[in-house]
A and B are shown apart, each in its own frame.
Chain A
Amino acid sequence: MTDKDVETGTWGEPEARPAAAPVTPADAADAARLVSFGLQPKLLPARDAEYAELLRRYREDPPFARLADAVASGLGLVVLEVSPRAGMAVTAAEDSLFAVRMGDYARRASSDAGDRFLHGLAHLAMAALAFPRPEDLADDGYIGRITVNGVDAFVRQACQRLEERAEEAGENTDPASDAPGLESAWRIWARRSSTGATKDARRLAGSTTGIVSKAAAFLTDSGFLQRTGDDSGGTYRTTPRYQLQVRDMAGSAAMAELLDLGVVPVSDGSASLTVPTAGEDLELVAGAGLPFHADTP
């Protein structure tokens, strides 16, 4: 956690408080109040004096901080960071009352595994594009910018790259009709149409841009993205909370799951969206998309 306190400059040196001050009900109320501020992710500390004051107290008063942490964990929340930039960044612990469930998020997703995967992949791809390099995810000052159409195009291109690889290797990627679960993941995205005209001029909800757009709108409600424009299906920029959430929660959880599957992606900390090595097909084929070299295990 870094103290980048350019905005307010209110953090002073921690005052020397009596160490064994008893906790009063008023303290507990304040701690709970701070957590409740944290539960309103769109609320900015800079816009609310009481919030800013409670944050200051959290930073300066360790017993109060412990009390606030205890309140949060009792409610089933995980404290990611407490800072003037992110506020009281809390998120739902697993199986918490506050957790988002896929079935509530998208109705079709609970019955259809393909849809469920698409919604999950949309969230993952948005994070990957919002923070394209490892440095971007690590740098607290970084603000990512994404567009709905850009995310869809990005995944589509990665899928196409895989399709070409499979073709070069002479594999038949068409899934067996009686085992849909064995279909390669990329095919699910590639197969779904990217957009579609509807009778009432809305976005087709089942299309991939529809799915990405839903994810973007949802994350905006979570205080993770801010909508900045309507170009390319909607443009968004990230908030510090999103970076924390991806870095400290989602990324590692997904990584653990991947390792559990026996897939061990190796990284030296540099971005994998890199130059293709010499001898690779430098010639770009129409529709091949990014000239990146994706490491496929």
Chain B
Amino acid sequence: MTAPAPAKIHPSPAPGPAADEGLARRLRALACTAPLHDLDVRKANLAGEYTVYAMAEVALAAIDLVTLNMDFDTGADHEQIVARLIPRIAAQAPQRPAAEHERVARWVLENLINVGSVDRGFRAVYGTFAPDGSYVRRDYDFKLIEEVPGYGGGVYLRTTDEAVNVLVGALDTDVTSAQIAAEVKLEVLISRGRLADAQLAAEQARYRTVQYSETLRRALDATRRNVRAVDWLEAVPDMIAEALDHVADRYRHENAILTNIRKARDEAEDQEHKRRAAELVDIVKDCIRRHTQLQSRLLEAGPLFRAEQDRQAFAPPSGRIGLDLYGQLVAPLLPLPVEQAIRVTDAFFARGTGLRTPTSVRVGDLVDILLTPPLEREHLGAEMPEPDVIATPDDSRFSEEQLARAMELLDLEHEAPRRLSGLLADARRIDPELPYLVALLAVHAASPPVGTAYRQGEQKLLFAVDDGTQLDDPEFGGADLIVGTALLDAAGMAADRTEAA
């Protein structure tokens, strides 16, 4: 897969730097949409007839799904996103196979991540005027969906700020106020019964909730790293108190909303309204779950601070002053141009990686190594040991030979059935043991395996019928069965089987 074609944009000369800056901002926003248009352009190049799918629509749906499924700790699960995208793709082309729908979902998602490039991102080139009036081409790098490490080494998906700002909507406002606004809007919408808009607002509220949680999580992480990095006198306690208030407030609020929507759900007559209200209940429940999660994190913060305080602040001060690696090296280094910064990192690398003992080979060993024939690759694996088989005694009553004789005897013309008594007498003449086998086979034939014969397409079938005649035999008693052979219509049966299948 190649990187999507960068959006080459040639702006007309701008009147001044200020206007140019605004233009650059809009060009960058425009560039964010390019990968989506590009999907629809490139779908024609795919092997297969994919023009029926509206790729940009699928891509926007994917970004929405990832945004809404971003979790507190990780992000959205790749497989889950694919699974949820498929219904929409299937709706676009219901007659196509499900495997193709999945392929489209994966193709779109991979292209939004831009799997083919090393940065897994996009680059657009645009031009601006430098303060001295010269025209400068610049690279704008951005991502839409990024892969982040999750719990247990998994890879999860997150939408980037670019994607959210440009593609999800104009959400670039203050977190807290936007959430309150969304909640109020939701309440109003529900009271007026406008559920379609209410769902949109609820989804936005949920996104706000996730964002708020993330902010707090990162602040707590910083505390774990260095107590002094965080103001535990005022800022953090304030922030925690604020967050706890927020959780309590939202919890109350959302429970109220939940009650309202449940009522709306139960009272709604319209099926569509009922379904939307039910979805809304799920969304609000999810919000409440996230708040509970946030609250438990907040409660952990105090003990964590005290433990870190013990470890970090109460240790006896060292007489030496160490190098402040972050403040004196990392922080000043990052804003430098890369060609200068690389000198510093190279110096650190050269002296910070320790040593490696070089491997050296003696010429004598080298000759041996080179002359050793390569090991034969074992394609078949290790040789199997010869199994030690113990011969089991042949304890069958009748031999193969006897069976063959009996079958020969019972191989009757289909028009000429015989009495069992006659067959037994014939058998007794051949072998004194044979009558027992013949009698056994005849008794079996009284209930012939018709089904098996039908399935296997047998030509004929041995059968036995009792007509009431007593068997007169020195060794056997019972009915003197009529044993005969029925011809089966093999061709007809075969035709039947095909039809049945």
Contact = CB atoms under 8 A, between A and B. Distances in A.
Interface of A: 39, 41, 77, 90-92, 94, 96-100, 102, 104-105, 113-114, 116-117, 119-121, 123-125, 127-129, 131-139, 149, 152-155, 157-159, 162, 170, 172, 174-178, 180-188, 191-197, 206-207, 209, 218-219, 222-224, 230, 232-233, 241, 245-247, 249-258, 260-261, 263, 265, 267, 269-276, 282, 284-292, 294-297
B355 A286 contact: no
Nearest to B123: A191
B226 A254 contact: no
19 contacts: A99-B356, A105-B353, A114-B338, A120-B348, A128-B325, A131-B322, A154-B225, A158-B330, A158-B331, A184-B336, A191-B119, A193-B147, A194-B146, A219-B354, A254-B329, A263-B332, A269-B321, A275-B230, A275-B231
A207 B341 CA distance: 20
Name, among B146, B326, B350, the residue most crowded by chain A CB atoms within 10 Å (CB to CB). B326
Interface residues of B, number: 88
A185 B336 contact: yes
A183 B338 contact: yes
A186 B345 contact: no
Nearest to B317: A135
A271 B349 contact: no
Given A187-B141, A195-B147, A284-B215, 16 more contacts: A116-B346, A131-B325, A134-B321, A180-B338, A194-B148, A196-B115, A196-B147, A209-B149, A254-B344, A257-B347, A265-B327, A267-B327, A291-B222, A291-B230, A295-B331, A297-B335
A261 B78 contact: no
- Name the 10 nearest CB pairs between A and B, nearest first: A272-B327, A120-B345, A250-B352, A222-B354, A137-B322, A138-B322, A193-B120, A185-B341, A181-B339, A134-B322
B147 A184 contact: no
Interface stretch (B84-92, B131-139, B254-262, B402-410): B131-139
Contacts of B348: 120, 123-124, 127, 250-251, 253-254
A268 B147 CA distance: 40
Given A116-B342, A175-B139, A286-B214, A100 B78 contact: no
Contacts of B336: 184-185, 261, 263
Contact of A123 (B147, B212, B345): B345
B325 A246 contact: yes
B497 interface: no
A194 B149 contact: yes
B228 A134 contact: no
B323 A134 contact: yes
A92 B146 CA distance: 40
A209 B154 CA distance: 12
Contacts of A135: 315, 317-318, 322
B120 A196 contact: yes
B97 interface: no
Contact of A137 (B146, B325, B339, B356): B325
Interface string B134-175: 001111110100111100010100000100000000000001
A90 to B, nearest CB: 7
Contacts of A100: 349-350, 353-356
B215 A286 contact: yes
Interface string B287-330: 00000000000000000000000001001011111111111111
B128 A94 contact: no
A257 B343 contact: yes
Given A127-B352, A271-B327, A174 B140 contact: yes
A247 B322 CA distance: 8
B318 A170 contact: no
A124 B345 CA distance: 7
Interface string B197-211: 000000000000001
Given A133-B226, A289-B218, A233 B149 contact: yes
B366 interface: no
B328 A121 contact: no
B326 to A, nearest CB: 4
B372 interface: no
Given A123-B345, A138-B322, A249-B351, A129 B225 contact: yes
B215 A251 contact: no
Contact of A177 (B139, B320, B333): B139
B400 to A, nearest CB: 55
B138 A251 contact: no
A183 B339 CA distance: 8
A195 B331 CA distance: 23
